[in-house]
Chains A and B, each alone.
Chain A
Amino acid sequence: MKRKPVFAALFAASLILLFATRPTECFAQIDIHIHTATNTMESHIHGLTGEAFGDGQGRPDVGAQLYRRYCIGCHGPNGDGSGENAMWFDPTMGFAKPRDFTLAVFKCRSTPTGTLPTEEDLFDSVTRGFVNTNMPSWRPLTEQERANLIAMVKAFSPRWQAEKPGAPITIPPETAPTVESILHGRELFDKIQCWKCHGPEGRGDGPSALTLTDTKGNPIRPYDFTTGERFKCGASNQDLYRIFMTGLDGTPMPSFSDNIKPEEAWDLVHFLRTLQVTLKTPELATFQTWLKGHPNTLKPIGQEVP
């Protein structure tokens, strides 16, 4: 029919107009400002290469685009944690502010305090999310998408170009959760004075707990073991080991790797599990059985050295 080509031509013309000319500048775009001018920030995780910006050759879902879709509302266009929603996260209610990527200081690492995390650490953090915060678990995103996002996180700080990540700490195999291990862990908890912040029962009510602030000056609370909730950096014994042997950078939680020997560290892990009185763990069961048989034999935690 005569009119058919006209219709098709009109449709094609509208598509051409839509794609070829204006939209590249016009349609509302939020700029992502980055601190580093490089376009080559990459990540290598699980055999995938993640890219922050792509090479302009049509990788459509590179890190910057994904960041704009998923992350910008909290972490902000500058990656400094000042997204439009960040002002509503109330640290006094226990909601941490979003991470500032420009400082490259991260809580959950397998590397020593003061060093950069590995890309695997960042990938795990994004995948797992952070309990008690508004950082979700991004597991439904594909691994490639998460790898691209990690590359974008790195692009916000020049530290990633100057430094290499730290060497991940070696974690020896876990020792048996015996009563001896738990009691030794209890001694460590007392001697090292974890209770100053975490409290003698691990309720997060130690003498120094109320004045704790993170590095940005926001109030922050120590973990309350009695809730049995997952830790910031995971839920397994290994994760717990890593937390106090690498510290949570950016928070008052220090690294104890200089002061606790690796074998002793497992004892502390076993004792800490017994503080999680609402969680059924083998350590808690062992300890409660022992306590029933040995009532009133333990010195209370938190006696100050005279």
Chain B
Amino acid sequence: MLSEFVDGKRLAGRLLPSSFFMLSCMILSFIFIDAKPAYTLPLSHPGSVRAIPAFARKYGLPCSACHTAWPELNWFGQAFRDNGYQLMNDRDSPIWQNPSFFPITFRITPNWHRENTNHQAVDSIPGDGAGSVLVDGTVRQHGFDLSGFDLWTAGTLFKNISFSLLPSADSTGAFHFENAFVRFDNLFNSRWVNLRFGKFELDNLISEKRFLFLSANGGIYQLYHFVPVGDSNTFGLGDNQLGLELAGHSINSYTRYSVALLSSNDGQVGLPANRGYDTYLTFSQAFQVGSLGLQRFGAYAYIGERPTFSQTTSGTLIPGTGMGNKSFYRVGFSGDFFFGKFEFLPLYMHGHDNVFLGTATPSNQPLLPGARAPSWNGGFVETHYYYSPQLVLTQRVEIIRMAQQAFPSTPAAAGDPSIPDNQGNINAYSVGFRWYPIMFSRAGLSWHNEFSIVKSIGIVPLSGSGNGLPPLSPTAGVWSNSVFTGLDFDF
């Protein structure tokens, strides 16, 4: 796999300075850290808040009690979350707190980052003067920057009624609601029946909202957002959805399930799209393996539909009136395995979109010749090494391979649409570390360093880095890499 990444002289030339940068970050960290006292550090993608010092303030636990390395949850924290952000100590209701306690927390990551993407369509003469043509160029951007900002409040409205509200802003300060829900916990006095209503993250075993990557190229799971070229589907497994969820768990959360009914609008508010509904099902089971730790595996299936056209008035689309729903699904397996200090998170996904979605054809019109339903397979393996509760090293390898494109690469007749077999295939690799100079119960700070590199064939990189246009050739391997160093803090 590594050989694929070092293919090409130009790539290696670019990689070298990046790895020097990473290395110097690490070396600098040694120099800083060796000075006494221990806490010496004076030094996007919207950084999703998923670590809440407000909970630490309420219950008096340090961040490391619930998080392997915040924001990723450990299984004790997952049980707390499954209980509806309750410790089940009969003192969870807010009436037991001092009235001045307000469960609010925020997170943001000022950073320095560098984005570099090749095979971008750029003018041969900047300014597009006389004689300028679009050529294959490289786009590089770097500088100090801010991530998005999250302001999160969550907890209990009452015993066994929990809530969450997360207004989230991008780095310009434009807000949207990332989640907003009320959850009725332990209905009928059973932890197997919990009902959640609102906008929330799907119960993915491997959560994208609580993972340990922040860069443009590394801060998403490609599989959680991938849609084949030319497809009109708007779905991403990593996007928060609007709907109703029934979930349950065993007493120690070793067995968990979730069934959700969601609107087919990918979490967009204002009823912009259609009147369809999607279903999500997931189940996971954990078991202890001696001194190695807890091993968990699970399966998931998202079955949804999207409209292919809409009602119009005088040709203008009327929002929320989507019609001609066609289905799609994402299914697969995932796991979370601990071997002492190592954690492995593998995931496999098979995706399939209906032919009308895959070719962006309204269902009341004929399909173009050769049209097929696109399907793909993909997977990633993510590794964490928890040197201590205050230092985690991470890496991830991810691939997506189209199994069937919407159109054949060699059309039956000349002039018919075609898509190269490998257009849309992705290889992604990330490596990084997070060092938490403080690990206590009021606030958190992490020095986040990351290098991610993605090769997308013939499409705009999902990170959006570059100029946002597809490459000039549909078979060009677009390499986009991010170097990121930032101070991720929350209070």
Contact = CB atoms under 8 A, between A and B. Distances in A.
* Touching chains A and B, CB distance < 8 Å: yes
Interface of A: 1-4, 6-8, 10-11, 13-14, 17-19, 21-23, 25-30, 58-61, 65, 68-70, 72-74, 83-86, 88-89, 93-95, 129-145, 229-230
Nearest to A15: B393
Contact of B87 (A2, A22, A134): A134
Nearest to B77: A140
A10 B23 contact: yes
Given A27-B391, A70-B65, A13 B23 contact: yes
Given A13-B23, A129-B89, A22 B39 contact: no
A68 to B, nearest CB: 6
B19 interface: yes
Interface of B: 2-3, 6-9, 12-13, 15-16, 19-20, 22-23, 26-27, 30, 33-34, 38-39, 56, 59-62, 64-65, 75-76, 78-80, 87-91, 96, 98, 251-254, 288, 290-291, 293-294, 340-341, 387-391, 393, 431, 433, 435-441
B12 A3 contact: yes
Contacts of A139: 79, 251-252
Contacts of A10: 16, 19-20, 23
B6 A3 contact: yes
B488 to A, nearest CB: 16
Taking chain A's interface residues, is the majority helix, strand, or loop, or is none over half, making it mixed?
A: loop
Contacts of A26: 30, 33-34
A26 to B, nearest CB: 4
A19 B431 CA distance: 16
A59 B30 contact: no
A239 B486 CA distance: 52
Contacts of A17: 23, 26-27, 30
B12 A134 contact: no
A29 B88 contact: no
Contact of B288 (A3, A7, A144, A230): A144
B291 A1 contact: no
B60 A61 contact: no
A15 to B, nearest CB: 8
Nearest to B64: A69
A10 B13 CA distance: 13
A95 B101 CA distance: 16
Nearest to A49: B291
A54 to B, nearest CB: 10
- List the 10 shortest-distance A-B pairs measured between CB atoms, nearest first: A3-B12, A85-B60, A73-B62, A28-B38, A142-B288, A26-B33, A60-B340, A139-B252, A140-B79, A4-B6
Contacts of A19: 387
B61 to A, nearest CB: 6
A123 to B, nearest CB: 14
A85 B60 CA distance: 5
A30 B2 CA distance: 37
B2 A134 contact: no
Contacts of A6: 12, 16
B6 A1 contact: yes
A19 B80 CA distance: 33
30 contacts: A1-B9, A1-B12, A2-B12, A3-B13, A4-B6, A6-B12, A8-B6, A14-B22, A14-B23, A18-B393, A27-B435, A28-B33, A28-B438, A29-B388, A69-B389, A74-B60, A84-B62, A89-B60, A132-B89, A134-B59, A134-B60, A134-B61, A137-B87, A139-B79, A139-B251, A140-B76, A140-B79, A141-B75, A142-B288, A144-B291
Q: Which of A27, A28, A230 has the most CB of B within 10 A?
A: A28
Contacts of A4: 3, 6, 12
Contacts of A21: 30
B91 A136 contact: no
Nearest to A230: B90
Nearest to B35: A26
Contacts of B79: 139-140
Given A59-B291, A138-B76, A143-B288, A28 B437 contact: yes
